[in-house]
Structure 1
Amino acid sequence: MSELIAIRDVSAIVSPGSHEPVISQRSIFIRDGVILGVGDFSLLASMYGQPDVVLDGRKKVAIPGFYDLHTHIAMLGFRGLLVDADRPVHETFFMLSSEMDCETAYRLAVAGALEALKSGIVLVADVFFQAESVAEALESVGTRGLVGYCCINHEEAAHSESEIGRAIEFGKRWRENTLVKPAIAPYSVDTVSREQLELLARLARELGVHLHVHLARSREEMKYTRELTGYTPVLYAYRLGLLGPRTIAAQANIVSEQERFILAQSGSLIAQCPSSSMLEGLPIHAYEYWQLGGNVAVGTDSPSLNDNIDFFEELRLMVYAQRVQLERKVWKAWDLLE
């Protein structure tokens, strides 16, 4: 039998949504990564036995782990490189990430996963060209993952087909993994053809996995998508059936009031990335999505743009950004924890 672990006399245990959201001076008993009970140490010991490992919880706070629903952890090796880049961020991202070898991607992803853990992140939703390396890194660290092989269009049809083939192989290979699950990840609606977008969406449904896509992330994407399709990115994604409860729509910054409503009502997970959006001078609509009943999530985005993987910083910046943008006090820290 595996070790019984106890965290004794925790100063504060935070459990948003429960009938008693904060309790003090209680202990937590854990086995096989499962919380067996929370309460008085002696009572728990009488129920589950004396623990093999006892950790001192005094002067500490226990909170639920965070889900980082949009990031690129292997870009940790390029901290801050894109902040003042002359070319569009996505172009530099493509150049750096596509040329990275698998071993380098693995090592950097391990470092990124460890930094995420230090910030209280227990699940990472990552999109990367070297998805296999990122998935292996998360598994080795013991962090849960939702990892997508990044698909973009290529001029050569054969190359495009091989990209789809890699996404399919990756999805099938990791689908049964208990710690890291695959996602289907077209980079964005302006970098993947309509045929491929429809194919990838169908593939996600067939495999029963999430679709993870950058959406309405920049003015350049808005302009190009309009010219190419006659629609805005959100309306185009809606028209193609890309939105829904198993879709992660990352960023969603350049949107109209109507499009915010569509996204919120679609049930999609709307991953807001405050620090990277602020650095790029883009609006953030997290509070409005929340008011509309949308599933608002938080992402740390790429460390090459925001310098770190710090979930607490993202939560804090989300509140600051919305108060400045809306010119009034919205949200309290507790709202974001819930």
Structure 2
Amino acid sequence: MSGNVDLEDTRASYQAVFALDILTAAAGFFLLVVATGPTVQRLRERSLSVKDKYGSPLKTSLGTYLFVWPGLLCFTISYILLIVIDLYKTASPNGIDYDGDLALGGRRPGGANNPLAKEIASLSFARTFLGIIFATVITGGIWIYSAHVLSNSSNRSAPGLRSKLWNSYIMLAIGGTGLATFGLGLAARPNNTTSFGQVVHTDEGTRTVYLIYRVIIVATGISVTRSAIKAFVKVNRKKNNPDRPHMRRFTIIVIPLLWVRNVFIIYNAVLVYYAAETSEWSESSRLATLFLITIFTQIANV
């Protein structure tokens, strides 16, 4: 491993994105630490349900944490790796390839004659794999949380068989198409210095499956938020329900973030496919679009 890593001589915009990556990783780490205590406690109890004082079964938060904690772990590691990638890209003797790195359609790690190109490419594939796990388990976490709150509020078992089958299917769809994209990217890259993002932009087969994977994420996001809204409406009917404030916060905060994420996934996917047609855009339009994709995608992920 060779090359000088120096962030001070980079563009202010790149330093700002680097700072955003640090803040995102820090937020992920904070949430991971906060979630670790309750997760360990629930694991020690080894119970997905308990009895209330009337003997009725209540779902515990263990099911939610079994999805959310691995998701937060993958998210945090992914953004730590992105910080490392940011630093590695400054090692190129020709400087950072800004047009290739901070480009429409997503950030493509790379750079001309970078002595750390192999490490950058490997980390980009590692981030892709972690992102697949994150997208899968977070979808499951949203589903199981809303189902368990509904179960505790209505005194009827939830999720039902149909819900279990459907949500298992959509999680398998996310994981399956994501891993297919990952495998195609590995097979299609011409050498070990080509990053995943570069493969997506140059290989049609990988790009097509990648876009299918992203579309499935959007579709499943719509599905789980629909279930969460239905659960919120039912829980909210009982004014004295102790789960009302929890479900209200969940609905007001998490669901809008998922919608924002979906909007920019669609926008990003369109730009991936039609990136060549944006070459005639003004620089201000390109920078504004890049800002929206980078900032709001990371906010939505957090």
**TM-score, normalised relative to structure 2:** 0.27
Return the structure number with greater relative CO, CA threshold 8 A, min gap 6. 2
**TM-score, normalised relative to structure 1:** 0.25
Structure with more helix by fraction: 2
